[in-house]
Every structure is written in C-alpha cells, then in structure tokens.
Amino acid sequence: MTYRACIFDLDGVITDTAHYHFLAWKALADGLGIPFDEDDNHHLKGVGRMESLDFILARSDRTFDATTRDRLATEKNDHYKTLIKGISPADLLPGIIEAFDWLDARGIRIGLASASKNAPEVIAGLGIADRFHYVADAGAIPRGKPAPDIFLDVANAFGIAPEDAIGVEDAAAGVTAIKAAGMRAVGIGDAAILREADLVLPDTSRLAANGLAVLAAQA
Ligand code: BG6
Ligand code: MG
C-alpha cells in the first residue's frame, strides 16, 4: 500500500518565490523603519498576507488602522507581482518535474495547497497548471497554516482519507499544518526548523528518489 495523493506547497518548494515574498516584505518594512531580516522571515513562510503584515507591524510602536493596513498589504502585493511578472518554466526548482512524473507513473494524485492568492498566476507562468488534479483556493480556506484546513480541503476534494496523503513543505507552519491534518510530511530545507517533518531533504533535487519513494516504501 502506498499513499494516494501528494499535496505540494508552492512558494519555496516548487519555485523560489519565497525569496520574492521576502524582498517585498523587506522593502515595505524598510519604508516604515521597521527592522526585518531573513531570520524574521522564517516566521512568515506559509503565513497569509494579512497575518504576515500584522507580524511586521507588531514590531513598530505605531498603530495602523484597517485602511492603512489594507493599503500596505496592497503595496506589498503590487511589488511582489512585479517581481514574479517574468516567471517561466526556467524558475521551476530542480527535481519538481521528475517528482510529478514519478507520481503520475504511479497514479498518485497531485494537489496544490498554497496560502498564496497569487498561486494560479505563478503555476501558469511556470507552465505546470495542468499537472495538478486539484488546486486549493487560498481565499476560500477559513484558517491559514499552521491550521490543517488547506491540506484537508485537498484530501476532501480527492475523496481520500488524510492518512492516505502526504504533503511537501518548506515552512515550519506548513509542516505543522500537514501533521495536524494527519498526513505524513516531507520538509524541504533546514531539519532544525522543520523538526516535525517525517523526512527532511535539503532541497528538491532528489525529491522523488529520496523523499516520495522513501515514504511510499514505509506506507
Ligand atoms: C505563502 C508564502 O505561500 O503565501 C507566504 O509562503 C505568503 O510568504 C502567503 O505571505 C500569501 O501569499 P500572497 O501571494 O497571497 O500574498
Ligand atoms: Mg512555502
């Protein structure tokens, strides 16, 4: 027996947009005189736009009303959109197409569980929109990661039990969400940060052989 679905995060797993999110938040924080660096950014990976903004604004001694917060979120998103404008298949991280092919060859369904409302544009630019059997709509999911909701939404769309799915994530909040959903997790990145994952790989280059196949053998 193996798992029946593999549910991917997008930013930082399939493509390096995690860095673009950081650059856009950094520019906003700099403009407001709020300190923000790559270490702080680890807390924002997988976290929704408004929650991320609130994390940054909480480090200021000023208060920001709802209108200002909306304007700042739009400003960050407009900047982010300019950064991802030219995104193309060349921006796919190594091993991702091989992972999709490995899953397809075994009839394992492929889902996307990204917190990003820009996900449809990003996967279209990457040329992989048709590789997913289901793409969760971040705007329709009540609770963001680390809540399990978005991963459960994909399992539900596939009509499978959560324990028959695995998730792939680069964010601590994302790994927590996968585990809270009752799925097994492949972490991509630093094992010290992704402690809850069942298996951690430093990058996606050997995702199929060293991640997906290993969990399939354990199932
Ligand atoms: C997640 C990213 O995938 O999407 C976060 O890891 C980001 O950094 C979140 O804040 C929401 O993205 P967006 O594109 O809707 O602002
Ligand atoms: Mg991510």
Distance CA 196, CA 193 (A): 9
pLDDT tens digits for range 26-35:
999 999 999 9
Residues bordering ligand 2, an ion, CB closer than 5 Å: 9, 11-12, 170-171
For residue 21, which atom of ligand 1 is closest to its CA? 8
Pocket test residue of 7, 42, 49, 170 for ligand 1, highest count of atoms within 8 A of CB: 49
Helices (H), the chain: 17-32, 38-41, 49-57, 66-83, 96-105, 119-126, 149-158, 172-180, 213-218
% of the chain with per-residue pLDDT over 70: 99
Residues with CB under 6 A from ligand 1: 10-11, 18, 21, 44-49, 52, 77, 114-118, 171
Tell me the two tokens of residue 199: 């298996």
| Structure token digits, residue 9 | 């995060």
- 58 C-alpha vs ligand 2 centroid, how far in Å? 22
Q: What mean pLDDT value characterizes the chain?
A: 96
* The pair of three-digit structure tokens given for residue 85, joined into one six-digit string: 């404008």
| Cα gap 147→20, rounded to integer Å | 24
- Going by CA atoms, what residue is nearest to atom 2 of ligand 1? 46
CA 156/CA 160 separation, integer angstroms: 6
Please tell me what DSSP assigns to residue 44.
Answer: G
Identify which of 8, 11, 55 to mutate to test ligand 1's pocket (most ligand atoms within 8 A of the CB).
Answer: 11
Confidence (pLDDT) at 2: 85
Structure tokens at 66: 């709802």
pLDDT value at 1 more than 90:
no
User: What residues form DSSP beta bridges with 111?
Assistant: 7, 134
Would you state the pLDDT for residue 191? 96
